[in-house]
A and B are shown apart, each in its own frame.
Chain A
Amino acid sequence: MTDTHHAPAGPGTETSAPDPVEPAAAEAFLSHPGSLRHAPGPYFGTYGGRWMPESLIAALDELESTFEAAKADPTFIAEVRELNSSYAGRPSLLTEATRFAAHAGGVRVFLKREDLNHTGSHKINNVLGQALLAKRMGKTRIVAETGAGQHGVASATAAALLGLECVVYMGAEDCRRQALNVARMQLLGAEVVAVTNGSQTLKDAINDALRDWVANVGTTHYLLGTAAGAHPFPAMVRFFHEVIGEEAREQILELTGKLPDAVCACVGGGSNAIGIFHGFLDDPAVRLYGFEAGGDGVASGRHAAPITLGRAGVLHGARSYLMQDEDGQTMESHSISAGLDYPGVGPEHAYLADIGRVTYEPITDAEAMEGFRLLCRTEGIIPAIESAHALAGALKVGQRMAAAGDTVADKVIIVNLSGRGDKDVATAAEYFDLLPDGGAEKDIAQEGEQL
């Protein structure tokens, strides 16, 4: 392995500081003649690959060749485009948020409205594409993992639309907290399996989905929900989300006549972020910011910020940054946002962090909830708590631009508003203490129900 930047640390370095991203790295990129767009995998620098059981390699090969052929097939591209426009509701709007922007140092802020897509988030882009691929491979069944239920609902939606059997693996703890999302998936015809293994959360749901896939690979496609996992998943999931960045780039040019100064997105596995970043990767003047879930603060250990932590490892098929203890055991992540509550991150993000093209920073639960509150009050938009991390980050970026003495009125930030917050109302109501004592809503919210 040629990774000198992030060689695996020895035991006893658990609390060591993350490796710094050298400022020079960003400059090195800016003079880089090659393109960062359309990175094909399997490797992104030293990240990515296929750290997978041999039993699944044939299925990954089949998926890769089907995907490559489909990408080059105008019929497939037309099918995706048609579903995106007539079913998912694309293109999504780019909305200027002037009252919100007043809190961001006075820069102009535009919201990429993935929250307006069918099923309420960017997730639909990927599930429609992969479900179409499943059909091209002759598979009749899809399995998916879900944390809060967003990807599970999106997968169940795509399966219903395209006539596929759908099984969703969900941690037993998450099933209990998200009973209404379980019902949504069931209404859409999916079977929801409560996972009682391990820590009973998202990573264990992925483990069980993989176990199902190994045993049923002849009939089944694993519809992974984020730009992580073994090749070709990271490049493929990004491909289906690239539409976000393409639309945003076109829209901002039309609205402002120039490229934005910064693009902000939240990063869990990283699918919405890589989707919007991709449109701007080769525009060196556009600063890209990925905001990880800082939970109670990275120093507290209770967070979901593997890039900030800065330790590489392999999990679920890819080498990337990973929250792990000194034995290489995966650590439990913590975030108020279920969709960011994952101990790993997509490998392309790890690479973009190392070369300095994207800046990754943690946003705490408290900062995210302040961003959440602010958008509700200033724009009449209730964001997903995941997306609120990007909003909170944008506030910081804008304020920094102002502090640096930039002419803020000329500065433009795009925030990927990856999902809507209907599912998060109970969590937010509890957080802001809006529920009457002794009411049923209080009980539900304390258990974390996200409607």
Chain B
Amino acid sequence: MITTGSKAAAAIEKARAAGRAALIGYLPAGFPDVQTTIEAGLTMARNGVDLIELGIPYSDPVMDGRVIQDATVQALANGFTVPQIFDVIRGITEQTDVPVLVMTYWNPVMRMGVREFSSRLAAAGGAGLITPDLIPDEAAEWMEASDEFGLDRVFLVAPSTSPERMKRTVEASRGFVYAVSVMGITGARTTVGEAARAVVQAAHDAGAERVCVGLGVSTSEQVREIAPYADGVIVGTALVLALRDGGVTALAELTENLSTGTGKNQP
């Protein structure tokens, strides 16, 4: 795993130094519009997230559950276009030091051109990419472009990942690895399975300095459960619901509440 020059690694290490797991908040860009996403990102930054994850709305999001699907469908219906992701990133990074990662399915990147996309992402101040349907086996072009522009590349690992693949994926990553907590798709769950702990352990054993847990995390109780063994906790669906139903006020409240669970040494 590469650490040098990684904005995501720096943010996670800063949290670690403060005795916390990093809190990573996800929102789809352009939901419901570009300006709101910028405000929402800044709201999360001011209320306790250490890293912002922005999703690019995509027509075929196979790893996403209904809440995020519906939000991205709305963003697209409202006219979101892929290059606007750079406007959102710029709008956020001009006003906060909290790094912004982009979560994207691969075809929109491939369509723009991997190098072109990477160049514009770096120019906008973006930290790198989380790639739910790109595995290291297919990532030669992205490995090259991310090296050239100093971008983080966050690959996913899952409970089903073999030890060999775990090792290869950890080695290919820059910043952190994204541990999928359960076999399934995004969406709030009442419990985060025991599988999450095992995936994090396996990733650490394979040499990962930073492993963050996502999928199904929606409450501060769940954050509290994961923070002692993981280096970061990723929350998505719950934040999308808060923004959708209660605007930035509700988003601020939930973010602050989630951040209370990040302490490494729980009382």
| Complex-state Cα separation, A203 to B59, whole angstroms | 10
Q: Are A328 and B82 in contact (CB under 8 A)?
A: yes
Grouping DSSP codes into helix (H, G, I), strand (E, B) and loop, the A interface class, with mixed when no group exceeds half, is mixed
Q: Are A328 and B62 in contact (CB under 8 A)?
A: no
From 314 to 330 in chain A, residues with beta carbon under 8 angstroms from any chain B beta carbon are 314-316, 322, 324, 326-330
Smallest Cβ distance from A155 to chain B, in angstroms?
20
Please give, as numbers and ranges, the residues of chain B lying within 8 Å of A218 by CB-CB distance: 183
The stretch of A90-98, A209-217, A414-422 that contacts the partner chain: A209-217
Smallest Cβ distance from B133 to chain A, in angstroms?
6
Over the window 137-151 of chain B, the binary record of Cβ atoms lying under 8 Å from chain A Cβ atoms (1 yes, 0 no) is 110110000000000
Q: Are B110 and A53 in contact (CB under 8 A)?
A: no
Residue of A nearest to B61 (CB): A207
Please give, as numbers and ranges, the residues of chain B lying within 8 Å of A214 by CB-CB distance: 62-63, 183-185
Smallest Cβ distance from A194 to chain B, in angstroms?
14
Q: Are B76 and A55 in contact (CB under 8 A)?
A: no
Between B65, B111, B134, B156, the greatest number of chain A beta carbons within 10 A of the residue's beta carbon is seen for B111
Known interface pairs A54-B155, A54-B156. Does A198 touch B113 (Cβ–Cβ under 8 Å)? no
B14 interface residue per 8 A CB criterion: no
Q: Are B183 and A217 in contact (CB under 8 A)?
A: yes
Q: Are A198 and B60 in contact (CB under 8 A)?
A: yes
Known interface pairs A215-B185, A316-B60. Does A52 touch B111 (Cβ–Cβ under 8 Å)? no
Smallest Cβ distance from B30 to chain A, in angstroms?
12
B18 interface residue per 8 A CB criterion: no
Q: Are B111 and A324 in contact (CB under 8 A)?
A: yes
Please give, as numbers and ranges, the residues of chain B lying within 8 Å of A29 by CB-CB distance: none
| Complex-state Cα separation, A36 to B192, whole angstroms | 48
Partner of A207, one of B62, B81, B108: B62
Smallest Cβ distance from A204 to chain B, in angstroms?
8
A51 interface residue per 8 A CB criterion: yes
Known interface pairs A198-B60, A210-B62, A211-B62. Does A55 touch B110 (Cβ–Cβ under 8 Å)? no
| Complex-state Cα separation, A197 to B109, whole angstroms | 23
| Complex-state Cα separation, A10 to B184, whole angstroms | 34
| Complex-state Cα separation, A53 to B185, whole angstroms | 10
Known interface pairs A59-B160, A314-B106, A330-B59. Does A54 touch B135 (Cβ–Cβ under 8 Å)? yes
Over the window 15-42 of chain A, the binary record of Cβ atoms lying under 8 Å from chain B Cβ atoms (1 yes, 0 no) is 0000000000000000000000000000
Residue of A nearest to B180 (CB): A55
Please give, as numbers and ranges, the residues of chain A lying within 8 Å of B134 by CB-CB distance: 51
Residue of A nearest to B63 (CB): A53
Please give, as numbers and ranges, the residues of chain A lying within 8 Å of B107 by CB-CB distance: 313-315, 322, 324, 328, 330
Q: Are A50 and B156 in contact (CB under 8 A)?
A: no
Q: Are A54 and B60 in contact (CB under 8 A)?
A: no
Partner of B62, one of A53, A57, A59: A53
Between A8, A52, A197, A211, the greatest number of chain B beta carbons within 10 A of the residue's beta carbon is seen for A211
Partner of A328, one of B109, B132, B158, B161: B109
A1 interface residue per 8 A CB criterion: yes
Please give, as numbers and ranges, the residues of chain B lying within 8 Å of A313 by CB-CB distance: 107, 110-111
Partner of B158, one of A11, A50, A51, A55: A55
Please give, as numbers and ranges, the residues of chain A lying within 8 Å of B76 by CB-CB distance: 329
| Complex-state Cα separation, A198 to B111, whole angstroms | 20
Known interface pairs A50-B137, A57-B165. Does A215 touch B184 (Cβ–Cβ under 8 Å)? yes
Q: Are A55 and B109 in contact (CB under 8 A)?
A: no
Over the window 198-226 of chain A, the binary record of Cβ atoms lying under 8 Å from chain B Cβ atoms (1 yes, 0 no) is 11000110010011001111100000000
| Complex-state Cα separation, A10 to B113, whole angstroms | 7
| Complex-state Cα separation, A1 to B165, whole angstroms | 22
Smallest Cβ distance from A59 to chain B, in angstroms?
7
Q: Are A198 and B112 in contact (CB under 8 A)?
A: no
Residue of B nearest to A58 (CB): B160
Q: Are A1 and B160 in contact (CB under 8 A)?
A: no
A49 interface residue per 8 A CB criterion: yes
From 164 to 200 in chain B, residues with beta carbon under 8 angstroms from any chain A beta carbon are 165, 169, 180, 183-185
| Complex-state Cα separation, A197 to B69, whole angstroms | 8
Residue of A nearest to B155 (CB): A54
Please give, as numbers and ranges, the residues of chain A lying within 8 Å of B116 by CB-CB distance: 10
Over the window 40-72 of chain A, the binary record of Cβ atoms lying under 8 Å from chain B Cβ atoms (1 yes, 0 no) is 000000000111111111110100000000000
Please give, as numbers and ranges, the residues of chain A lying within 8 Å of B60 by CB-CB distance: 198, 203-204, 207, 315-316, 330
Q: Are A327 and B111 in contact (CB under 8 A)?
A: yes
Q: Are A50 and B138 in contact (CB under 8 A)?
A: yes
| Complex-state Cα separation, A1 to B106, whole angstroms | 14
Partner of B161, one of A52, A58, A199, A203: A58
Please give, as numbers and ranges, the residues of chain A lying within 8 Å of B184 by CB-CB distance: 55, 211, 214-215
Smallest Cβ distance from B73 to chain A, in angstroms?
7
| Complex-state Cα separation, A224 to B183, whole angstroms | 20
From 70 to 116 in chain B, residues with beta carbon under 8 angstroms from any chain A beta carbon are 73, 76, 81-83, 106-113, 116
B46 interface residue per 8 A CB criterion: no
Residue of A nearest to B69 (CB): A197
| Complex-state Cα separation, A179 to B174, whole angstroms | 50
Known interface pairs A51-B133, A52-B133. Does A8 touch B111 (Cβ–Cβ under 8 Å)? yes
Known interface pairs A1-B140, A10-B116, A54-B158. Does A198 touch B59 (Cβ–Cβ under 8 Å)? yes
Please give, as numbers and ranges, the residues of chain A lying within 8 Å of B66 by CB-CB distance: 197
Known interface pairs A11-B112, A54-B161, A55-B156. Does A329 touch B135 (Cβ–Cβ under 8 Å)? no
Residue of A nearest to B178 (CB): A54
Please give, as numbers and ranges, the residues of chain A lying within 8 Å of B112 by CB-CB distance: 8, 10-11, 327-328
Over the window 35-69 of chain B, the binary record of Cβ atoms lying under 8 Å from chain A Cβ atoms (1 yes, 0 no) is 00000000000000000000000111111011001
With A210-B62, A328-B111, A328-B112 already in contact, 4 other A-B pairs whose C-beta atoms are closer than 8 Å? A211-B184, A313-B110, A315-B60, A328-B107
User: Which residues does A use to contact B, with CB under 8 Å?
Assistant: 1, 8, 10-11, 49-59, 61, 197-199, 203-204, 207, 210-211, 214-218, 313-316, 322, 324, 326-330
A-B contact pairs, 28 of them (CB 8 A): A1-B141, A8-B110, A10-B112, A10-B116, A49-B137, A49-B138, A50-B137, A51-B138, A52-B135, A53-B63, A54-B156, A54-B165, A58-B158, A58-B161, A199-B59, A203-B60, A204-B60, A211-B62, A214-B63, A215-B183, A215-B184, A313-B111, A327-B82, A328-B108, A329-B58, A329-B59, A329-B76, A330-B59
